[in-house]
Amino acid sequence: MNCCMYLRKSRADYEAEARGEGETLARHRATLLEFAKKRDIEVSQIYEEIVSGETIAARPVMQKLLAEVGEGKWDGVLVMEVERLARGDTMDQGLVAQTFKYSETLIITPLKTYDPNNEFDEEYFEFGLFMSRREYKTIRRRLQRGREAAAKEGKLLSRAPYGYRRKKLENDKGYTMEIEPQEAEVVRMIFNWYTNGTEVNGTTRRLGLQSIAHQLNKIGIPAIRHDYWQKETIKTIINNPAYAGLIRWGYRREKKQMSPDGLLISRPITNDDCIISEGLHEAIVPREQYERAQQILDEMPSAPIGYKSAIKNPLCSVIICGKCGRKMVFRKGYNGKPDYLVCHSRSCSQVGTPYHYVEERLMDILKGWAAEYEVESKRTDMPEQDNISVLEASIRTADKDLEKLKQQLSKARDLVEQEIYSVQEYKERSQELREKIADLTETRDNLNNQIETAQLRKKAKIEFAPKIENLLKVYYDLETPDEKNKLLKEILEKVIYDKKLSGQYKKSDVTKFELTAYPLLPKPDSN
């Protein structure tokens, strides 16, 4: 049989490795390879999953394996236990069971071989998955209770925040935190600026979130994760009770919700059932100062609903910086200065350009596209259709060749049963045929991809060109940036911006910049 092997770590495996029982995947691999050798099973591929995910959606290797099983690529799959295949909910278990059943793929374990088309094996297999799910939920409940108990004891359950580093507890399970002196001074400075203020232009005043971020960037203090401090980062620090010597757990619990696109997982901020307890670590700021900072945060006026979502830049998320890959942003001009399109990354040397020049250049590019499509539409010959016909003929030939190879593979099996072929001769012959089938299948897939590309070109002439013409007619008459942005995103996948010299300081031409536009071509139908 042509089989593959699937190896996956479970939560229990991680605990066993922590106790020094050896690397799990290596032990399982050796056991299954020895078992396959005794049973004369040919293992052509070994899949290893090191992600201990609850659902199939969180396990990319399992997704790939199921796709190949569904295509009938394997006669069987070797696993240590059936529980390694699925511990998710009933939907995941049903997907695994049906994929193996309809593809007639065996599930081979050292204890038992399951034939999904055998009624008794099917029931036994489904019962094994059910019991595995129960065991998983029991383990998860126990771990959750352990985390909550540890939080109430003041232990650290996640990574240490800025200003601290993680520390193993002596003579006890779990972790706490110890102060990182240099970062802790920055935290104290942030709280002092926010609650007591600092001297600015000869007067003492309290700094807001944005002002604190600006001061830290001005001083040159390295930011936490980004290349510069942001007000959201400052607010997160001020709002974290860890700096007052407390431990907070359950502040952002995982929330699952079904939608037409599938399962959505979010982590909303909530104070409901949130555990706050005295920590085992030393505080960086006094409790009174932390509470004063929370009071100031609560008194901050709420932002108008939807003010961030209102698009002010028609080129929003369309123009991409050619140096760092970030999205270019709109900067409003004041005191007679023009609006600019700039890259906000502090570490990027990209040069900005007055906004209206970029917008005009993009419109010129779209006008050029429209002219090209108009010329193409007037051609009497149809190169795309001719190309598609040739490709379709090549696919028909490939299908015939594939059918012949499959028949030869089937005959080779018959010759083994008739004892005309030895087992070794069959292995060599079948391996040769499978390689030819794989190569021909890959060729056929490439031909299909070429047909899809040619069809996209045809579809572009029918659907894409009129969209460009419509945009050019109505763009400057649209009232809001949001309306312009939506039209642009129907046509453009992205536009790469690059500029070498600054026209303002080096007296070069301010319009010397490059735009490379990528059309959003129509996608082939999914069915």
Tokens of 62: 């399992």
**Mean pLDDT lowest among 70-84, 121-135, 286-300, 341-355:** 121-135
Q: How confident is the model at residue 162 (pLDDT cuts 50, 70, 90)?
A: very high
Q: Which CATH architecture has domain 2-152?
A: 3-Layer(aba) Sandwich (3.40)
Q: What integer pLDDT is reported at residue 305 of this predicted model?
A: 47
Helix-strand-coil split of the chain, %, nearest 5: 50, 15, 35
Q: What integer pLDDT is reported at residue 133 of this predicted model?
A: 67
Q: Which CATH architecture has domain 164-299?
A: Alpha-Beta Complex (3.90)
Across 384-409, b (16+ Cβ under 10 Å) vs e yields beeebeebeebbeebeeebeebeeeb
CA distances from 122 to 78, 113, 118, 132 (A): 17, 11, 6, 15
- Residues 263-295 pLDDT 10s: 566 666 666 677 889 999 999 999 999 999 999
Please say if the pLDDT value at position 21 is more than 60.
no
Task: Return the half-sphere exposure (C-beta side, CA atoms, 13 A cut-off) of residue 355.
Answer: 16
**Which range scores top for mean pLDDT: 25-29, 355-359, 387-391, 453-457?**
355-359
Alpha helices in 153-230 (DSSP H): 181-195, 209-219
Cα–Cα distance between 498 and 509 in angstroms, integer?
Answer: 14
Q: What is the pTM of this model?
A: 0.50
Where residue 306 falls (left for φ over 0; alpha for ψ -120 to 50; beta otherwise) is left
Please say if the pLDDT value at position 181 is more than 90.
yes
- Residues 496-516 pLDDT 10s: 999 887 655 556 678 889 999
Question: DSSP character for 243?
Answer: G
CA distances from 96 to 81, 91, 154, 261, 264 (A): 14, 9, 42, 20, 21
Cα–Cα distance between 471 and 463 in angstroms, integer?
Answer: 13
Is residue 313 a contact partner of residue 327, using CB atoms and an 8 Å limit?
A: no
Please say if the pLDDT value at position 300 is more than 80.
no
Q: Give the list of residues 6+ apart from residue 317 with CB closer than 8 angstroms, or none.
A: 327, 485, 489
Q: What integer pLDDT is reported at residue 405 of this predicted model?
A: 81
Nearest to 57 by CA among 86, 24, 79: 86
How far is CA 235 from its chain centroid?
A: 26
CA distances from 164 to 150, 156, 177, 282, 284 (A): 19, 11, 6, 10, 9
Q: How confident is the model at residue 118 (pLDDT cuts 50, 70, 90)?
A: confident
